[in-house]
Chains A and B, each alone.
Chain A
Amino acid sequence: MDLTVEGLSHRYGDTEVLRDVSLDIPAGRIVCIVGPSGCGKSTLLRMIGGLERPTVGAVMQRGAPPRGSLNPLTFVFQDFALLPWRTVDGNVSLVLEDHALSRAERRTIIDDVLARTRLTDFAGALPRQLSGGMKQRVAIARALAVNPAVMLMDEPLSALDAQTRELLMDDLVALWLRERFTAVYVTHNLAEAVRLGHRVVVLSRRPGRIREVVEIDAPLDARGAMEDVQSHLWGLMRDEARAADAELLDG
């Protein structure tokens, strides 16, 4: 299943957040969206996932989601969004309970995704007992459980420390090499973007427009720091980021 964003614009009251964004998200690829803070990248992601309605334009699905996909467009949130009163097991189970699955089927899915995210030993733990990196792995396991067609990741590593971020990036790369999932990955971290993205979309500051789309052809498992790409991206963003930083929040 492919997604296309067609001429999307959005405003909150008088503030224009996004202006005429058109974007192609082909199946099996990771599209990273980068941009200065407040450029509307998270808003764009929420619209792609159907959590918010754009003022103008639309997001279209092309083709049917794969068979057995319980929730084609699935989010991974920056702050994990785990239910603190449910165990790791229960948090994954939550998203399966509304589907017509037998107890055994549900059990199989949960065991499978926990194994894939190396969480089997922590199935009975509560979120407060887990480190940030583990919490995000639970959130990823939960996303995998519904067998998504597209994963919508909203700064999934931004709440984590630098070391955990490295580890989880390795995890994501390994996961993609195995499963070739489709993802839209919003981040402000250029290192993450060049490490994980097949295509990096650079948004300008508010109102967010597409500045440039950078294709990165190197395979995910053979990427270094890609400093030339990073500095090219940073060159595109530097002045915008500085201007965005100097803006008054409610101005």
Chain B
Amino acid sequence: MADSRPVPFRGGGFVARPRRWVGVAVIVAIVLAIELGLRMGWMSRLTLPLPSDVAGTFVQLWDTGLLFKHLIPSLSRLAVGATLGALAGIGVGTLIGLFSLARAGLVPLVAAIFPIPKIALLPLFVIWFGIGEPSKYALIAFGTFTPMVVATYGAVDNVDRTLIRMGQSFGLSWGSIVRKIVLPGAMPGILSGLRIGLAISIILLVAAEMLGATYGIGAYILEAGSLYDLERLFAGVVILSLLGVLTSAAIGLLERRLLRWRV
């Protein structure tokens, strides 16, 4: 043929491909741009603290041992509160998914509780549990609870009914069906609920510590904020961001381990 051309390719795009270091590069670029902008005077020093000063504050925190003095109470509050809330949420969500009565009774209740900013209820928790640790646990647990309930019953609803019918047809006991078919089948949904639940629990951790705590990241940020000490404020914020990234990575790891069977 006189005029032959290759067929133009038009099939590319629309596929998510892993690009490992791009996320880190974006953050580094932004931090560098801020540093440079402040040093060159393109931005007023009042807008943001110098990233290098924030890093200096961080080093100071580490050297004085203050970092762990704040971090350890925060982490233990997070661990206790989020664990209680997540377990209760998974439990109630599973009940809603399995029993029509529980669904009819509890879904409207959960819908009523979900949009309440839990921080608004902190005074209530203080009255119930005192100013100490239990009220903080309760607040964090309560905040993790609602998204976990919604995620879990949605996930249980989405378990393949033919698998449950299969279990029944082989005469499996009710407990076996729940343990070996329903819960593993709901696991993907439960884990993505956990992602949201843990992010909310970090937000509430800070809120709880801003009201009545001597040590803790929230207390540290509150103190820095009231003194307009932006370097320390940002050091605290960076810790929270890292915490968020770490929990998200931990759930990613859990997903890879527990959901290896997925395509």
A residues at B contact (CB < 8 Å): 49, 51, 70-71, 73-75, 77, 79, 81, 83-86, 94-95, 97-98, 126-128, 142, 146
DSSP majority for the A interface?
Answer: loop
Q: Is the CB of B261 within 8 A of A71?
A: no
Within 8 A of A (CB), among B158-175: 160, 162-163, 165-173
- Please tell me the number of chain B residues within 8 Å of chain A, measured between CB atoms: 23
Q: Is the CB of B171 within 8 A of A81?
A: no
Nearest chain-A residue to B181 (Cβ)? Answer: A83
Which of A75, A98, A126, A142 is in CB contact (< 8 Å) with B261?
A126
Q: Is the CB of B184 within 8 A of A98?
A: no
Which of B162, B173, B260 is in CB contact (< 8 Å) with A98?
B173
B residues at A contact (CB < 8 Å): 160, 162-163, 165-173, 176, 180-181, 184-185, 187, 259-263
Q: How far is the CA of A40 from the CA of B162 in the complex (A)?
A: 18
In the complex, chain A residues whose CB is within 8 Å of the CB of B260: 126
Q: How far is the CA of A70 from the CA of B165 in the complex (A)?
A: 17
DSSP majority for the B interface?
Answer: helix
Q: How far is the CA of A97 from the CA of B73 in the complex (A)?
A: 44
Contacts A51-B165, A51-B169, A71-B170 known; A85 to B176 CB distance under 8 Å? Answer: no
Q: Is the CB of A95 within 8 A of B170?
A: yes
Q: Is the CB of A85 within 8 A of B184?
A: yes
**Contacts A/B (CB < 8 Å), 20 sampled:** A49-B169, A51-B168, A70-B171, A74-B169, A81-B160, A81-B162, A81-B163, A81-B165, A81-B166, A83-B163, A85-B184, A85-B259, A85-B261, A86-B261, A94-B170, A98-B173, A98-B176, A126-B260, A126-B261, A128-B262
Q: Is the CB of B166 within 8 A of A84?
A: no
B189 to chain A, nearest CB (A): 14
Q: Is the CB of B166 within 8 A of A75?
A: yes
Q: A81-B162, A84-B262, A98-B171 are in contact. List 11 more A-B contacts (CB 8 A).
A: A51-B165, A71-B169, A71-B170, A85-B184, A85-B187, A85-B259, A94-B167, A94-B180, A95-B170, A128-B262, A128-B263
